[in-house]
Amino acid sequence: MSRGDSLVGFAVVRNVKGKDQPITFLVATDTTDRLRDVDILVYREPYGGEVAYDAWRRQFRGKSADDALQVGRDIRTISGATISVNAVTLGVKRALSDLTAWHRSGGLH
């Protein structure tokens, strides 16, 4: 991601499996490998869509690949959305780890 001629970060779009359907999400980091934002792009399940609410996604901001991101400890659960919360959290953790590894290896610049 860039703003004008300045690099401001990196982003990746991924899918995780919800209860029955994929959940498509975006993870964006800054140039210091801190998570800038998570956005749920497509939520297909009839229940658990609260994972798309900013109030829930906001808790990921500022996290790094070194953070545990454990549901129930670092990441709040949502009643009725257990599968979605666990799936998105694991997906975010993997995407953040991948973006960080790619950036540190020089694969992203």
Share of the chain above pLDDT 90, in %: 85
pLDDT value for 8: 79
Give the mean model confidence (pLDDT) for residues 26-50.
96
CA distance 3 to 11: 14
Give 15-59 as a DSSP string.
EEE-SSSEEEEEEEE-TTS-EEEEEEEEE-SSS-GGGGSHHHHGG
CA distance 64 to 49: 25
pLDDT value for 2: 53
CA distance 90 to 84: 10
Mean pLDDT of the residues in the chain: 93
pTM: 0.91
End-to-end alpha carbon distance in the chain: 10
Share of the chain above pLDDT 70, in %: 93
- How does pLDDT run across 51-64, given as a tens digit for each residue? 999 999 999 999 99
pLDDT value for 35: 97
Nearest partner of 71 among 81, 91, 58, 86, judged by Cα: 86
Nearest partner of 34 among 63, 8, 58, 6, judged by Cα: 63
- How does pLDDT run across 73-109, given as a tens digit for each residue? 999 999 999 999 999 999 999 999 999 999 889 876 6
